[in-house]
Structure 1
Amino acid sequence: MFLSRVQVDTDNRRKIKDLTHLGAYHNWVEQSFPDEIEASVRKRHLWRLDRINGNLYLLVLSDEKPVTEKMEKYGVPGRLVTKSYDRMLNSLTENQQMRFRITANPTYSVFQSGDKRGKVYPHVTVEQQKKWFMSKASKNGFEILRHDTGDLNDENSFVFDIISRDRPILGRKKNRNVRLSRVTFEGILRIKDVDLFKHMLVTGIGREKAFGMGLMTIIPLE
């Protein structure tokens, strides 16, 4: 697998005039793998938008390397970096501590009698969104570290926070903008089950993965 990053050329209005909604970014990602399109093999690519030091970056996790010309279509020329992801995955060990970042779509479902699929609603408060993320930890092979406050019931002791929350436009439907809830979490975790954790890293967490949600990236603590 490969993790790629390119700086979005936000200073070039002519170049990015189409990037007004998440659906356009999704299309950019898909078009970066023309061999898959030609073979009618549409693989799911996890991706995320990161804003770092005032610059906007597109990150993409994929089985194959993206085509440079396609991935730089809306990017700054020469700013595409692609690295092997397998080496990092193979280096993971139980109890390893990691700094993490993930952008996700915290939601819940309400089922009514006779429903095969519940109606999906976004979590809207910071407290709800944090609890949603904490509920995903054990089933995905990790735990969030805690400050030693002596109170195991103190939810503020967990070493993570929300660094951004917004409702970007997904696209348009019946002449109105459709929006998604987007939340970015950062913190420190400990790996508890390597296999579950690896699976989560390559498949993502939560809904709307095709539209920039669910990709977690990690950096080992020194």
Structure 2
Amino acid sequence: MTLWLTRIVPSPNSREARRDLGGSDQGIRLHQRMLQMFPDGVEGPARAAFGVLFRAEESPRGPQILLQSHIEPDSSRLPDAYGNVEKRSLDSLLSNLRKGMVVNYRCVASPVRKPGATSREAYNLPPVMTLSGNSAVEWWERQSNASGLEPLHITAHPLATVRGLQGSKGPVAKQRVQHSRTQFDGTARILDAELLREKLATGIGRGKAYGCGLLSIAPAR
């Protein structure tokens, strides 16, 4: 399994970059922008075909976009002067993962609960319930365990909800996107290295097309 990590530091002088990073529909705009760097004409959803996961975040250098994919993206397909782009393979990191290793992690995810039909009817609950606070932390603990990790420390920071129209033309112009987001940071011990490699490649939770689900790790010092 090969994974590529691309770091994009958008230029403050780029109108396209400022538009992509602004507003509550940031995740929708970035979804469209990230897919521009991959070949056209694939069967099925392009995001899944190329294993595209991304996250916009603040760094000491300012805003940055982290993009993970199964193939190397073509950054020449970005608008001119969009920003600085750095790419590297994650193969060495993945091959060195071992049970018992302690890692630092970050993941922006959309923690939710789906009540059963009986509970929904009894308590008039929606099909999908957003989780926050301790409920979100408990959700992350379950997701971590299912990803081959034992959380040792968890910090949960709520982020703005991604919302907007899925597209501007055709049927998708009427479909609304809404994903609550929480940023999880901390340290964890690897319980199952192979399972962790799988989850690193496929992402965690809902909203993967819109900036959620990318799990980043690095060996703890």
| TM tier relative to shorter chain | 0.7 to 0.9
- Which residue is 1:155 aligned to? none
1:122 equivalent to 2:130? Answer yes
Name the CA distance, whole Å, in 1 between partners of 2:19 and 2:111: 29
The percentage of aligned residue pairs carrying the same residue is 23
In structure 2, do the counterparts of structure 1 residues 81 and 139 end up closer, same or farther at CA, with 3 Å as the change threshold? Answer: same
Q: Contact (CA 8 Å) 1:47, 1:213: kept in 2 or not? A: yes
Q: Contact (CA 8 Å) 1:71, 1:80: kept in 2 or not? A: no
Q: What is the 5 A alignment of 1:149-188? A: 159-171=153-165, 178-188=177-187
Give TM-score scaled by structure 2 length.
0.81
Match of 1:61 among 65, 68, 85: 68
| Residue segments in structure 1 that go unaligned for 5+ positions in a row | 146-158
Match of 2:35 among 14, 30, 33: 30
Root-mean-square deviation (CA), in Å?
A: 2.6
1:110 equivalent to 2:112? Answer no
- Which residue is 1:46 aligned to? 53
| Residue segments in structure 2 that go unaligned for 5+ positions in a row | 121-125, 167-171
Name the CA distance, whole Å, in 2 between partners of 1:161 and 1:16: 29
What does the per-residue CA deviation read over 1:64-105, in whole Å, with 9 as the maximum and x for residues that have no partner?
1111222465732xx101100112111111100001110000
Return the structure number with greater helix share: 2
Q: Contact (CA 8 Å) 1:102, 1:216: kept in 2 or not? A: yes
Shift of 1:23: 1.4
What does the per-residue CA deviation read over 1:83-132, in whole Å, with 9 as the maximum and x for residues that have no partner?
0011211111110000111000001112326x9xx822211x31111111
Q: Secondary structure at the match of 1:38?
A: coil
1:97 equivalent to 2:97? Answer no
Name the CA distance, whole Å, in 2 between partners of 1:201 and 1:175: 32
Give TM-score scaled by structure 1 length.
0.80
